[in-house]
A and B are shown apart, each in its own frame.
Chain A
Amino acid sequence: MSNPKELYYTKDHDWLKIEGNKAVMGITDYAQNELGDIVFVELPAVGDEFAKGDSIAVVESVKAASDIYAPISGVVTAINETLVDSPELANESPFEEGWFIEFEITNEDEVKELLSASEYDELVKGD
């Protein structure tokens, strides 16, 4: 699965779809592949405020739990309830149905530090 061109990425293998001051976030195909079968997802509550670097979600494969850290600061505006009930969506459709949260960006400067699709392609190349 290739990494969609229109998205932003992080070194931690998250993706962000940014429109204006709204962002939707999930984990990349590379991340879901590394994690293996995802069986549990814990998401923040709508209205939760977070700073860049905070742990905002937990994704668990059969084997282990991994924290998801906020790539930029924001306030949660929606969570993917379907993903909570069907965590396997993060494996099956990481860039679409497997999205994690939608949030309002509170520090637009941080967006500049995100990776482009081609930068992210370079990062995961060879793995």
Chain B
Amino acid sequence: MKKTALTEVHREAGAKMIDFFGWEMPVYYTSLIEEHNCVRNAVGIFDISHMGVFELTGEQALSVVSKVTTNDPSTMVPGDIQYSPLTTPEGTIIDDILIYRIENGFWLVVNCSNMEKDFKWIQSHLEGDAELKDLSDNMSILAIQGPKSQPLVEEVLGESLDDLKFYKFRKTKYHGLEIIVSRTGYTGEDGFEIYLANDKAVNIWHEFFEKGSKYGLQPAGLGARDTLRLEARLPLYGNDIDDTTTPLEAGLGRFVKLDKEYFIGKEVLQKQKEEGIKEKLVAFVMEERGIPRQGYPIVLNGEEVGRVTSGSMSPTLGKAIGMGYIKVEHAQPDTIISISIRGKESKARIIQGRFLNKN
């Protein structure tokens, strides 16, 4: 299994380690629920070094990014970050990525499960002098998330982050090493992500804990990352979005710029927008006992009308919640649907907007 620069640190901390798409990663340290609540109420730190980082440079870099993503990178200036699906010619989702505008091109931050596929895909669409490099091997990424994240990150980096707005990044120094800090995350909380070379990862991790105890800092694993993102209604590739679903079906239409001259999949998505989608990703809260899980049928009046893509007990709400695709005619908020859980139906209510009021 592949290790991050911090794998040993997680093991020593007693984390339960799992094989996550070939990476040995912590799923939780002591308790998933405790870690989840710590991020909601104070601050937690995640090792997300398994994520892939590509650098795309050259005169044609903008044209390449514009072609492979549905969002519009042309308006970005260095320091800007954009979320975008990558789509197939059929308009379905290859991956969902973050695009960082750097001085001489872009950084593309991709899901670890899709790294090789994405790299090949983008490489096959290079033009002119555009050059694609995989920076992942020497890159550690930490996510510091929660309402107390700003004072803690400020203390470790020794600078104010007041002027670093959501979805912006900047270069800074950590003990002489150039690093990148962005105001981004996957938890629905305020938070930061730090990109730095592997050899300083253990250093900064320990420094976060030296300075973090007064803020209630705890390490958090992939388990809490999943429940936090689900409560924030953020889709997970492989669960809620994949190469059988389009961004429009997934409710990601605001990241699809159909007024852009061209991108891969545009024609299909244009047509889907005009004709209307047939299935839609919805979020629901269980009203009866049972926890929805990926793959469980969604049932209405005895007929299967959809399928659960993510589900869990929500630590914040104390109720089971989920997301899933459902035929669009049944997707109105407040519709009572049933989830077939091991052959028994349990009622759930489709919600409008978010699970939590706070974000």
Q: Mark A16-51 against chain B: 1 for CB-CB distance below 8 A, else 0.
A: 000000000000000000101101101000000000
Q: Which of A1-9, A56-64, A99-107, A111-119 contacts B (4 or more CB under 8 A)?
A: A56-64
Contact B33 A37 (CB under 8 A): yes
Q: For the complex, is B223 an interface residue (Cβ under 8 Å from A)?
A: yes
Using Cβ atoms and an 8 Å threshold, which residues of chain A touch B227?
62
Chain B 1-34 residues near chain A, CB threshold 8 A? 16, 27-28, 31-33
Using Cβ atoms and an 8 Å threshold, which residues of chain B touch A62?
32-33, 36, 223, 227, 312-313, 315
Contact A39 B291 (CB under 8 A): yes
Contact A63 B32 (CB under 8 A): yes
User: How many residue-residue contacts, CB under 8 A, span A and B?
Assistant: 39
Q: For the complex, is B358 an interface residue (Cβ under 8 Å from A)?
A: no
Contact B312 A40 (CB under 8 A): no
Number of interface residues of A (CB under 8 A): 13
Q: Kindly report which residue of chain A lies nearest to residue B33, judged by CB atoms.
A: A37
Chain B 270-312 residues near chain A, CB threshold 8 A? 289-291, 293, 312
Using Cβ atoms and an 8 Å threshold, which residues of chain B touch A123?
none
Using Cβ atoms and an 8 Å threshold, which residues of chain B touch A61?
32
Q: For the complex, is A124 an interface residue (Cβ under 8 Å from B)?
A: no
Rounded to whole Å, the gap between the CB of A66 and the closest CB of chain B is 11
Rounded to whole Å, the gap between the CB of A13 and the closest CB of chain B is 15
Bound together, the chains give a CA A51 to CA B16 distance in angstroms of 33
Q: Which residue from B223, B290, B320, B342 sits with its C-beta under 8 Å from A63?
A: B223
Chain A 64-85 residues near chain B, CB threshold 8 A? 64-65
Contact A65 B291 (CB under 8 A): yes
Rounded to whole Å, the gap between the CB of A1 and the closest CB of chain B is 15
Rounded to whole Å, the gap between the CB of B222 and the closest CB of chain A is 9
Q: For the complex, is B55 an interface residue (Cβ under 8 Å from A)?
A: no
Q: Mark B205-227 against chain A: 1 for CB-CB distance below 8 A, else 0.
A: 00000000000000000010011
Interface residues of B (CB under 8 A from A): 16, 27-28, 31-33, 36, 223, 226-227, 289-291, 293, 312-313, 315, 320, 342
